[in-house]
Chains A and B, each alone.
Chain A
Amino acid sequence: MALTFIADGRPIHATPEQNLLSACLAAQLDIPYFCWHPAMGAVGSCRQCAVKVFSGPADIKGQIVMACMTKPTPGLRISVDDAEAAVFREAVVEMVLTNHPHDCPVCEVGGECHLQDMTALTGHHRRRYHFPKRTHLNQNLGPFIRHEMNRCIGCYRCVRFYRDYAGGDDFGVFGANRNIYFGRAEDGPLESNFAANLVEVCPTGVFVDKPFSANFRRKWDLRATPSICPHCAVGCNITVHERSGAVRRVTNRYNETLNGYFLCDRGRFGAGFLNSPARLRDVRERSGGSLIPAAARSRLAAILAEGNVIGIGSSRASVESNFVLRTVVGDTNFFGGLSAFDAAALRTSLAIMRRIRPPTLKDIEQADAFLLLGDDPALVAPRLALALRQAARGSHRGNTNPFMTATSAPGWLGSVARRVDGSQQAAASVDGTAAAVLFAAKRPLIVAGGEPALLAAAANLVLALRRQGVSAQLSLLLPEANSIGLGLLDSRDLGTAALAAAGRHVIVLERDITREPAIAAEILATAKSVIVLDHITTPSVMNADLAIAVASFAESDGIFVNLEGRVQSFFKGVLADNAPPSWELLRDAGIDAGRLPAGQWQTHAALLGSLAASIPELAPCQAAWPIKPMSRPATLPHRSSGRTAATAHLDVREPMPPQHDDSPLGATMEGPSTALPWAPGWNSVQVLQRAPSLSAPDIFLFEDRFPTEIDIPDHSAPDDRRLGVEELSSLSPAIIAYRQAAAK
């Protein structure tokens, strides 16, 4: 129910659940704040968002209140501009800065610092405090985060995120008065899988992205491109920051119904593989010979022209690359090529999702009872596990239904299922007790991952609940960024592909078939030749007759379908002259070989049109591709200072804007971008509270239908899903360092 209150004579619309601060920020009013965070709520500790509230029309004196701690009421009269409130806000900034080192020129956050923005906003510019500042020793918090405690202004956001929101218990606040310390009891890597969100949660530079710090550029010297995390099936929205041809860091990109404000550490640091020595950057033969890049196209064309060829797809390659490979080798010669276990689970999952639409992560956070089955979401889909924790925390807000787990996975999962009031729930099996709990809930949720039999049983439980009028939901855990996109093209396993491989050419798309060693050996032994297209040097690459470097997700455009069935596009963020995306290379070779008509798919939109015609179920991909002429996302900030200087040692002329077939002004400062939210005076990630929402449209593949029972398949054995096992992130130096530290 909406209401209206008056701020400095201006009507502001709000809901009763909002506080004055969030309502005013949404209405483009500038009120400084530190401790409030939209995902973590208001606690009133920083006292920065002071405004005047007037008790009635006759009240001219008013009373100072904290906007974040005050609910709007209809007709309430407040003043942000009030002189007394403004003086107090400036005084609070001056007080918190008494211990801040003012080291902006050497601070990684300088230029995108909420503390800088808020200080400027209050007008404070002259320091009066002239006594010694309190200082702290920093801790070694592991390979992900560098600690600079002297910069701390005591907003308590870090500890509220780490302990309350993310459920970590190895980080806290120590000491009292101004001698408070946010850190661990002793040096050591932070244990939470979400620790590095502290980098974005902190309003200043206490927690710094360590790999980025070692290879640092200012925000305005980075190209910021909207992208999708390739490291698991959740598909969190990320921003890829590039400079001089290298990806420097990954940050969260807000998506209201998916990842919101937070990423997992695999997502934030996994992209380190892009710069690792394990990248494949050339075209090479098994004999050791290195070919010129153009040879790749002709060799592929020759094989395709011969016709005796099969393709093995990839659940970490884009929908486009898989589709083009499928088209050029012929539909029946294209194999999903997953492990037998994954392929069976994927087939069952798709059969279920076509009838039971998967919930979004936001839906998951609203669940009032949930049952976990099989795989540990904290390992398979970490960001989803964080959403589950929010559902579990909801019990503190009045939910009384318990949360249960029927998984053998230890560790973090246990704390997800634990009620936040501290009472440990005993593990329950899928018996009468569990059923009664799910039946009594308003929004019960079952999360299942692993063997097909388990998935099908979970689906039937959800269907049974729905038949009883309970709006139960089912979230299925899938292993990779584009598992669904691949599965809709083909879901046959690698063993099936091996049967077809004998005596034929095999094109392997962006996957390491040697993860199934026995089957890979058979393929390598019996195939006429094995050609691997990839951007990392896997054992498959080492053993291929021909290995061809192709673009990674950061170097190409494409689409992934996540475990919600959400279709999401990512954009080319590294514009340097890299290897082409697989789908471009295969398209060109296909045209050369006569498998495709000349001039086929010269634009992305044309390719997606063919995809929609060929696989109607993937037709929504067209809507997920936002590019109309002139609307390719901007990737350079308005303050980009280095765009002419960066290459001045080579050529002093201003470089040409990057050229794209589908947009004349692509990848410049022009156009909207979810990767570059900005409002005047708001240069940090906190701008999201102030700038209009740029969230991408939600496009989903699946709808609820009225299904019958789902057949329960046979039992099979699961795969390893731990951090560092996933193919791409396992090559990131930061992830490798983390695993080494964890192994000690």
Chain B
Amino acid sequence: MERPLTRNIRPGAAPLDLVSYQRAGGYEALRSTIGKIAPAAVITTIAESGLGGRGGGGFSTGRKWQAMPSSAERPGPRYFIINGDEMEPGTFKDRLLLEGDPHQVLEGLVLSAYAVQANHGIIFIRGEYAEAIRRMERVVAEAHAAGLLGNNILGSGFNLAVDVHASAGRYICGEETAMLNALEGKRAIPRAKPPLPQTSGLFGHPTVINNVETVCNIPHIIGRGVEWYRSLGLNGEAGTKVFGVSGRVNRPGSYELPMGTPMRDLIDEHGGGMRAGFSLRALLPGGASTGFLLAEDLDIPMSVSGFAKRGHRLGTGTAIVLDDRTCPVAFIHNLQHFFAQESCGWCAPCRDGLPWVEQTLNAIEIGDGTQADIELLSEMTGHLSPGRTFCALAPGAMASLQTGLAYFREDFEQHIGRSCAWH
């Protein structure tokens, strides 16, 4: 099984420097493309590859790039931003890629920026990822010295300046329009769409924002072709993805697997199954903003379309396992605590609704809850649904609560009038 994204990553070992990265075939895709293949052709290749956004949305990367106005239509600065603000609870795939193979991220950035003719690249990294920031800064300097960045890259006439930006914090910065505000020095609150960033992005200029993992796919698609890339996936999907699993499994961690791999393989085969004495009760398949799946759902192929068919969201593809010895109410309360704290405070239902949800869950957990509280929670999942809040934060928070209320109703009701039986 091919693992293009993580092929250079060895656990515990330092990432490849420029020399060893190039020895391993790095920057070949860049050298064969830049100044030799028209940017529009690169976009077409990516569109045909079937690559979708790896940050959780799954939107076609090629189509996202095609929405950029041409340089003739919109002269002036253009930006390509890599979203490395990985703050989704339970998600640690971008960290692996940033720390493990930073040159791969950079090569993907140069190719992507070339495709959309952006002359300014920004790598926006979660502030707590200090090691990732250091390593990215180091490879940017290396690549610059080697003429792989800066003006007239490899004699192609294409210029690209790259900045590594350490986030000042806040989960909402991972929302792409809030990230734009953060980069502009404003409060990190989401912007209304439309306009899309492609037409009015950073400082009002055309901008593309892609996830770290998405960008890491680009050199491989360019270097080895669409046919090869499409053949990597299972069940009609294209490429591979860095999946992950945490919770009480034997081998929690990140695993690069073909898109479309059944979830059961991730848990049982790669994750090593549940630890002795624990059994799987449910899992959040793609971070804290996705809804629960139950044990009987484990055969769903892990892909955006595979999940959508069953009414679920793949999210970031990094699963959090709920075992049978953990209180689901406390589990959900912990998630809601995170979301209530990370609400940016811009829109009323999220800002004032999530703390209410969080406090109600806490009351239920400590035995102060009532039946009416459970009804209130159920009501709130409707009020904080997509379209009713300004961005996707609160609806994402409600995914676990809504499915949790459906799947663990008995557990909630057992808490009424008495404290948590799990403690």
Contact = CB atoms under 8 A, between A and B. Distances in A.
B367 interface: no
B345 A95 contact: no
A177 B340 CA distance: 7
Interface residues of A, number: 33
A154 B383 contact: no
Contacts of B389: 47
A92 B349 contact: yes
Which of B343, B349, B352, B355 has the most chain A CB atoms inside 10 A of its CB? Answer: B352
B199 to A, nearest CB: 14
A131 B359 contact: yes
A95 B348 CA distance: 7
B345 A178 contact: yes
Contacts of A409: none
Interface in B351-374: 351-356, 359-360, 363, 372
B344 interface: yes
Contact of A45 (B340, B341, B347, B360): B347
Contacts of A91: 349, 379, 383
Interface stretch (A62-70, A343-351, A568-576, A703-711): A62-70
B388 A177 contact: no
Nearest to B341: A177
Nearest to B340: A177
A122 to B, nearest CB: 13
Contact of A99 (B352, B354, B360, B363): B352
B387 interface: yes
A269 interface: no
B418 interface: no
B192 A48 contact: no
Contacts of A26: none
Contact of A46 (B187, B344, B347, B354): B347
B387 A45 contact: no
B346 interface: yes
B92 interface: no
B348 A98 contact: no
Interface in A59-92: 63-65, 69, 88, 91-92
Nearest to B370: A130
Contacts of B376: 128
Contacts of A43: 192
A411 to B, nearest CB: 23
A179 B387 CA distance: 24
Contact of A47 (B342, B345, B359, B388): B388
A92 B354 CA distance: 12
Contacts of A64: 387-388
A137 interface: no
Contact of A153 (B343, B348, B356): B348
A591 interface: no
A176 interface: yes
Contacts of B344: 176-177
A176 B388 contact: no
Interface string A570-601: 00000000000000000000000000000000
A175 interface: yes
B194 to A, nearest CB: 11
A293 interface: no
Contacts of A179: 345
B365 to A, nearest CB: 14
A50 interface: yes
Contact of A48 (B345, B348, B372): B348
Contacts of A95: 348-349, 352-353, 356, 383
A129 B383 contact: no
B356 A98 contact: yes
Contacts of B379: 91
A180 B355 CA distance: 13
Given A47-B389, A176-B170, A129 B348 contact: no
B243 interface: no
B348 A177 contact: no
B308 to A, nearest CB: 19
B345 A88 contact: no
A50 B388 contact: yes
Interface string B202-216: 000000000000000
B292 interface: no
B352 A96 contact: yes
B305 to A, nearest CB: 23
B390 interface: yes
A173 B352 CA distance: 16
Interface in A109-149: 128-129, 131, 134
B371 to A, nearest CB: 13
A156 interface: yes
Given A88-B388, A95-B352, A129-B356, A173 B187 contact: yes
Interface of A: 34, 43-48, 50, 63-65, 69, 88, 91-92, 95-96, 98-99, 128-129, 131, 134, 153-154, 156, 173, 175-180
Interface of B: 170, 187, 192, 340-349, 351-356, 359-360, 363, 372, 376, 379, 383, 387-390
Closest 10 CB pairs of A and B: A95-B352, A180-B345, A131-B359, A177-B343, A91-B383, A95-B353, A176-B345, A96-B348, A178-B355, A46-B348
23 contacts: A45-B348, A45-B390, A47-B388, A91-B383, A92-B349, A95-B348, A95-B352, A95-B383, A98-B356, A128-B376, A134-B355, A154-B351, A154-B352, A156-B346, A176-B342, A176-B344, A176-B345, A177-B341, A177-B344, A177-B355, A178-B340, A178-B345, A178-B351
